[in-house]
Amino acid sequence: MSIDKNSNRNQASGEVSRRGLMMAAVAGAAASTVASSVSASAEEAKAVDAKTGRLNQSVCKWCFPKMSLEELAVEAAAMGMVGIDLLDPPDFPTLKKHGLVCTMVQSHPLGNGLCDSQFHDMCIEKINAAVEATSAEGWKNVIVFSGNARGIDRETGMKNCVDALAKVIPAAEKAGVTLQMELLNSKVNHPDYMCDNSKWGIELVKRVGSDNFKLLYDIYHMQIMEGDIIRTIQENHQYFGHYHTAGNPGRHELDDSQELLYPPIAKAIAETGFDGYFAHEFLPVRDPIAGLRDAVSQCIV
C-alpha cells in the first residue's frame, strides 16, 4: 500500500487551516462581544439624564477632592444635574459656564453656629454676605448651622437660634433666598452638634415662622440618629427645603453595601411635590463618576 505524503500533508494543512479559521471566528466573536459591551456601557452612560425625573439633582463638590470644579461641572451637566452644592462666590463663574447653579451657598463655619450667642455677629455677617451673593445670581439657598452646644441646653440653644435668625430672615425674604439649617448626626461625625434630630429642627422652623427658613434634611445623618426616613419625610416634608444623600454605614455610594435603599426614598420625596434640590453627598470608594452616575440613575423618578 503506497502512502501519498503530499496528500497527508495537504489534509493536515487543511485541518490546521480550518482550526485556525474556527479560532479566529471565536476570537472575532469575543472581540465583538467586548466591543458591544463597551459600546453599551457608553450608551448607558449617555442615557443617564436626571432631567427626565421629577427631582432636581445636584452634587457636593467637597466629596470629590481629586476632581477640579471644572471637571465635576462637566460631568454633572452631562448627567442632567442642575448644579453643585456648598460652594462660594469665586466658584460661581465655573458653574455658569456649564449652565449650572450653586444649589447651596456656603456661609458660616459648621461648629461655630447660631445656638451659641458668642458667634452671632460673625454668623450674621457671613449669612448676609452669602444671601447677597446668592440673590445677585438669582439663586435660592444659603446653608446655616446650629453649631456645637458647648454646654448650652437645647431650649436656650433654640432661643439663641431664633434670635440670630430674626436678624437675617428679613434680608433673606426680601432677596427671595431660603436659609437652610442642616440636620447632622452627633453620634458619628459631629459630636455636640445641637440640631441633630428632626424634632428639634422642626420646632425651630415653627418658632422662626418664615417660609424662607427650612431644614436641610440629610438622609445619611438622620438614618444614624433616628431612622424611619420615608415616614419622617412624608409627615414633615413641608419643613424640609433641601436633601442630601449618602449610604450608611460609611457615607459611601448608594449601593448594596449599605442599609439605605434610595429608589423608594427618592420616590417618596418626589411624591410630596418637592421642587427644591436633591444633592448627592457621598464619599466614593470606587470610580467616583461611575458611583455618581449610579446614584443619579437610582434617584430618577
Reported as a single tens digit per residue, the pLDDT across 117-139 is 999 999 999 999 999 999 999 99
Contacts of 63 (CB under 8 A, 6+ apart): 280, 281, 282, 283, 284
Q: Name the phi and psi angles at 152, rounded to 5.
A: -75, 130
Question: Is the separation of the CB atoms in 50 and 57 below 8 Å?
Answer: yes
Cα three-residue angle 239-243-247, rounded to 5 degrees: 135
Dihedrals phi, psi of 162, to nearest 5 degrees: -60, -45
Q: Is the pLDDT of residue 25 over 60?
A: no
Q: Is residue 249 reached through a cis peptide bond, with omega within 30 degrees of 0 on the bond before it? A: yes
Is the per-residue pLDDT at 191 higher than 60?
Answer: yes
Burial of 206 (0-12, 13-18, 19+ CB in 10 A): exposed
* pTM score: 0.85
pLDDT at residue 54 is higher than 50? yes
Mean pLDDT score, 101-126: 98
Query: pLDDT (tens digit, 9 = 90+) per residue, 219-256?
Result: 999 999 999 999 999 999 999 999 999 999 999 999 99
Please count the other Cβ atoms lying within 10 Å of the Cβ belonging to residue 11: 11
Q: Is the pLDDT of residue 7 over 70?
A: no
User: How far does CA 292 lie from the centroid of its chain?
Assistant: 8
